[in-house]
Amino acid sequence: MATPAPKIRFREPQIEMAHGAGGKASRRLVEGLFAPLLFGSSQGPLGDAAHIQINGTRIAMTTDSFVVKPLRFPGGSIGELAINGTVNDLAVSGARAEAIVVTFVLEAGLPTDILEAEVRAMGQAAEDAGVMIAGGDTKVVEHGKADHMYVTTTGIGRLLSGVIISPQTVQPGDKVLLSGPIGDHGITILLARGDLDLEADLRSDTRSVFPLVQALVHQAGAGVRWMRDPTRGGVATSLNELARDSGCGIVLFEEKLPVRDSVRGACELLGLDPLHIANEGQFLAIVSSDHAESALQALRATPGGEEAVMIGEVREQPASAVLVTTLYGGSRLVDMLVGDPLPRIC
């Protein structure tokens, strides 16, 4: 019996920057072009990592590419992002990263000491995260075709026991936990570009969140319904994806959202919403209500998790949408990122 030809729903005539921003346009591209042609009809909702069964063992696998500009910024560089990004994608799918392979696309003319600095940074980040770098590949392209370097990392990991993460398990009454302040990474990059006459004492938050995920899973087990690291597109995009995939509504309490003063100031100055700004060292978790409080305490007791906070809860309404409420009874919907106010941030 012939399978029907896959239907391409992506109708746009050319690729724009927005298609890489992690928001609505990215989702249209992935769901409308890549998914029908590559993933087949059996694929469920797209997560950060794929779970594959090999001879009865469940492993997780993920890949990510890094095109950040500038390469170095307060708090890190492309090297750290490349390792932590993949470690984190595996972590939030409930897996411990075991091995990573790295590919470099290098621009002819790239000074060796710049490359060396990044490779050192990657080695250090891998050591800090406890993950092995198992191999890689290198290509060089003509000057002007790779903006110094592009890096891709692909990682595999072993799933932690007792973890069943799926948007389908999310239900009204569950709580939304966030590991720490948002917006640090995206705003740091924006300021590091030097185009705006803005300065602030800010650093990227890039780090492995695996120790925090591990503490959370250890405490709450099957009470952990879903996790995600809110990179491009920010918390708003990640939670909108969940709302869409689960059909539930997510209500966030504005006064609980952790945002550093300087991130807030920069966002106000530029007309940006911290909920749409990328993070490289935080994660969101939906936890059942009976486990939420102890899970939060477990996070706060883990080094690096001291600023974890409960920012909201899952409700039936508004279905498939994210609402932010204020202390005085006002509310607004917050949608996925549209367009791309901050290109090339990770």
Q: Which is nearer to another protein, 251 or 278 (CB)?
A: 251
Scan residues 199-228 and list those touching another protein (CB under 8 A): 199-201
Q: Which is nearer to another protein, 96 or 232 (CB)?
A: 232
Binding status of residue 142 toward another protein by CB under 8 A = no
Among the listed ranges 94-102, 142-150, 280-288, 320-328, the one in contact with another protein (CB under 8 A) is 320-328
Residues 233/22, Cβ–Cβ less than 8 Å: yes
Among the listed ranges 38-46, 93-101, 284-292, 326-334, the one in contact with another protein (CB under 8 A) is 326-334
To the nearest whole angstrom, how small is the minimum distance from the Cβ of residue 333 to another protein? 5
- Cβ neighbors of 18 (< 8 A, separation 6 or more) are 25, 26, 338, 339, 340
Scan residues 32-61 and list those touching another protein (CB under 8 A): none
To the nearest whole angstrom, how small is the minimum distance from the Cβ of residue 65 to another protein? 19
d(CA 38, CA 135): 25
Q: Among 265, 289, 307, 310, which residue sits at the site for another protein (rule: CB under 8 A)?
A: 265
DSSP secondary structure string, 205-264?
A: -----HHHHHHHHHHHGGGEEEEE---TTHHHHHHHHHHHHH--EEEEEGGG----HHHH
Residue that is written with structure tokens 């729903």 in the block: 9
3-state secondary structure of 296: helix
To the nearest whole angstrom, how small is the minimum distance from the Cβ of residue 262 to another protein? 4
Residues 334/324, Cβ–Cβ less than 8 Å: yes
> Which residues bind to another protein, rule: CB under 8 A?
14-18, 24-25, 195-201, 251, 253, 261-262, 264-266, 268-271, 315, 317-318, 321, 323, 325-335, 338-339, 341
